[in-house]
Structure 1
């Protein structure tokens, strides 16, 4: 499952580039790490269920690590209940007794061998008709996780226990009691036979199941993806699988799993997973810390970030936003993002850098009637054939060579050369080279919004 927005680790994670695609810990994104965890022969080729807006991020990140997956796109968000129902239906098409592992793309496990072993144990119980989750020993009385009360073993090996109670996100007092009574956290990974999950959905959440089946039945091929039917999927109630099934089923079981699991859900969790010096300080990017301890700095390549004399803080610097927060208040970031949304702040949702299937563009400067962007086009990539009603564009190539279509002309524009595209010009850019094409685009006109694009032809079906 790869479609969440990850607002609790803003400003790095935003809806336009959520946390599962960001290297929060190490050089790989959590999505890539999750895919790499499935290299064992226990697993078949994965099915990635993601939001339609992230289709090319998924595609490119799989390509970076040389892994294959079937990519299924949700045209509308309906929470994890619908995603699990879609996964169950796709698996049922292979066979009703197919064993399914539902994994979250934004979690980290540090013990890969232990993770695979836990999955193998869960699969054995799933084959017997149980819906199994991985249970993590709590490190604190957190209110952001589901809790599981364990019972007796459900299979002879004794490694899978009956889930006597499955409670989603209790209040602080209840969470404290659960920890004292040895409840486990629900890690959000589920294992089941396709027919068992469909039967439970049919009993407890029939509208979700019906919508998912119809969305798969009416799905269509889109480029390299399977696009679920929007109208059908929109009929699914927006509900998590925890509320829709797991709190209600009598088939729940749990594998206690000491696998170094984290949902990397807050900046405090990122700090705990990061390398630290003898003062407990951690720096990723360009940062300096003086006379302070237990500080976590994350700074992009354009900004020096410094902390002096302030302990236990996280400072995150991006091109258009800075977050300074006491690590103890990490759960307040989501509330901050919600506040910014009420103020219509662009920074709540979008980065200055916007990724596209052909590369990315990044806003450098803008004012009344002008905007300046940096554009990077991957080797062999091509933008759509398009025109604008309200703006002209001036392209200056700073690296590589651009093949530019301008009305009926095809022009090669080399490094240190430029080309002008008047309002209404039908145009397209291609990178015919073997290195990234980088250019500066200067837009001028009465309206400079991204919706002033009329696509005439497009490799990526965006016309």
Structure 2
């Protein structure tokens, strides 16, 4: 049987250092930061064009349950319709995520070689990456665990490091040790030594080999994942591991759970190998990293969106909704979203996570969600609010519909701006065209559907004593959300 290469895309993470653009409900992997496609979409298509010597399986994605429709929609937009999506009931780090992926990979009697890729990395040189993957595939097929180490070009304190030996086999080296993010002096020493690489978080391993290693080193994680997958629910779109069992799994990373322990267990016959990779890699972990992967003007500025500058050097300007202008700035990041603006020294952008921690501590929703909220049927933007009223712009995708629902504390006025709306209002069903409107009284069962072939856009005015998103009772829902209590 020919070995297959299974892309396993790990879609967890909240990207807090890229706040305010990246937030928990819409983290960085769903944004188009390095080009026109999102980072997830770039990752899902990264192996397109690899040598025919490698048989590619359909990708397998592991994502947060709350992000399931974002993942499915972005894959559909990239014309990827054969992927399988595993839904983590809660985050447990990369070792449990790869374990449930390995168990799913073997569900059909296969034993593919898995390429684990975080969904939020940039790799600019695809041919170089393909060549490295082919080498890793050959070594992993023989029963070893391979990672990629990024060839360091500066003393970086934001990455962990991998120390490797001199024993070379098929382009791979023996892993000697893993090193946590160092201080500047140690980072300079690692760069000078020449045998330290940045830890990429990319791994290649056969599914059975990974499960064998987990049984040896973390049988508690493996047991929880096995029980969770045994009782998983499977439908046409998603695989849903059983939540209670999965949440019993300890949280651990691939490095800690397995990679760092392999040298101490030679009886397993699994060695940890590393391939030096020079392919324009970045984890885009902070705003300075995004600045480094974007094109610059002659003064070293990276400009994204509606932004202008005068007399600025080596700075980043990102605009999401309005004009951003900079004068006389150097090494500054200016990031604008509709509800928050960040101004930071590009050399200190790792510290943005402290701002997010402050917002979380003080109960600010700005750490969690954007003003614009994505739903499986489209999106809404809360454009104005005040005492007892809120105004939303709502866009419904062609053929999509909101749930059949009612509210206890608010009434709603809907005005169609573009497209055609099919409105269920109590026991009445009506079609509304552009510039037409309707009123949904408090307590009325209602539904909004787009029967057309173009996006439906409406303006919704809510009024009442309580306007929170948890004031909703669902009766029917296309997306299986009847038991959920929030969202439209």
Do they superpose with TM above 0.5? yes
Written as runs of structure 1 = structure 2, the 5 A alignment for 1:320-399 is 320-399=339-418
- CA displacement at 1:281 relative to structure 2: 1.4
The aligned residue for residue 77 of structure 1 is: 91
- Once the two structures are overlaid, the 10-residue window that deviates more, 181-190 or 91-100, is 91-100
- SS, match of residue 114 in structure 2: strand
The aligned residue for residue 253 of structure 1 is: 273
Residues in 1 aligned to 2:76 and 2:43: alpha-carbon distance in whole angstroms? 14
- CA displacement at 1:179 relative to structure 2: 2.3
The yes-or-no answer on 1:18 pairing with 2:18 is: no
Match for residue 268 of structure 1 among 288, 298, 303: 288
- CA displacement at 1:390 relative to structure 2: 0.7
Measured against aligned partners, the alpha-carbon deviations of 1:116-163 in whole angstroms (never above 9, x if no partner) come to: 1111101111122211001111133333322111124453x3x11111
- CA displacement at 1:223 relative to structure 2: 5.7
The yes-or-no answer on 1:224 pairing with 2:233 is: no
Residues in 2 aligned to 1:342 and 1:248: alpha-carbon distance in whole angstroms? 36
The aligned residue for residue 5 of structure 2 is: none
- CA displacement at 1:102 relative to structure 2: 0.6
- CA displacement at 1:336 relative to structure 2: 1.4
- Once the two structures are overlaid, the 10-residue window that deviates more, 221-230 or 182-191, is 221-230
Task: Judge conservation of contact 1:220–1:227 (CA < 8 Å) in 2.
Answer: yes
The aligned residue for residue 79 of structure 2 is: 66
- SS, match of residue 215 in structure 2: helix
Instruction: Show structure 2 runs of 5+ residues with no match.
Output: 1-9, 264-270, 483-488
Task: Judge conservation of contact 1:267–1:330 (CA < 8 Å) in 2.
Answer: yes
Residues in 2 aligned to 1:315 and 1:5: alpha-carbon distance in whole angstroms? 20
Instruction: Show structure 1 runs of 5+ residues with no match.
Output: none
The aligned residue for residue 118 of structure 1 is: 132
Residues in 1 aligned to 2:165 and 2:116: alpha-carbon distance in whole angstroms? 23
- CA displacement at 1:459 relative to structure 2: 0.5
The aligned residue for residue 7 of structure 2 is: none
Match for residue 162 of structure 1 among 152, 157, 174: 174
The yes-or-no answer on 1:212 pairing with 2:231 is: no
- SS, match of residue 467 in structure 2: coil
Residues in 2 aligned to 1:122 and 1:37: alpha-carbon distance in whole angstroms? 16
Question: TM-score, structure 2 length as denominator?
Answer: 0.92
Sort the Cα spacing of 1:428 and 1:96 in 2 relative to 1 into closer, same or farther, 3 A: closer
The yes-or-no answer on 1:142 pairing with 2:191 is: no
Residues in 1 aligned to 2:138 and 2:183: alpha-carbon distance in whole angstroms? 34
Measured against aligned partners, the alpha-carbon deviations of 1:199-246 in whole angstroms (never above 9, x if no partner) come to: 221222111111111111111025611111110110111121112112
Number of residue pairs matched?
460
- SS, match of residue 87 in structure 1: helix
Measured against aligned partners, the alpha-carbon deviations of 1:262-290 in whole angstroms (never above 9, x if no partner) come to: 11111111111111111111211111111
- SS, match of residue 349 in structure 2: helix
Task: Judge conservation of contact 2:86–2:101 (CA < 8 Å) in 1.
Answer: no
Task: Judge conservation of contact 1:168–1:242 (CA < 8 Å) in 2.
Answer: no
Question: TM-score, structure 1 length as denominator?
Answer: 0.96
Match for residue 458 of structure 1 among 450, 469, 477: 477
The aligned residue for residue 434 of structure 1 is: 453
Residues in 1 aligned to 2:136 and 2:272: alpha-carbon distance in whole angstroms? 11
- SS, match of residue 292 in structure 1: coil
Match for residue 305 of structure 2 among 267, 277, 285: 285
Residues in 2 aligned to 1:174 and 1:377: alpha-carbon distance in whole angstroms? 53
Sort the Cα spacing of 1:204 and 1:141 in 2 relative to 1 into closer, same or farther, 3 A: farther
- Once the two structures are overlaid, the 10-residue window that deviates more, 182-191 or 162-171, is 162-171
Sort the Cα spacing of 1:313 and 1:364 in 2 relative to 1 into closer, same or farther, 3 A: same
The aligned residue for residue 210 of structure 2 is: 197
The alignment's C-alpha RMSD in Å is 1.4
Measured against aligned partners, the alpha-carbon deviations of 1:166-203 in whole angstroms (never above 9, x if no partner) come to: 23434444333322222011211111111221122122
Residues in 2 aligned to 1:176 and 1:199: alpha-carbon distance in whole angstroms? 37
- SS, match of residue 264 in structure 1: coil
The aligned residue for residue 177 of structure 1 is: 189
- SS, match of residue 32 in structure 2: coil
Match for residue 113 of structure 2 among 79, 99, 107: 99
Task: Judge conservation of contact 1:78–1:238 (CA < 8 Å) in 2.
Answer: yes
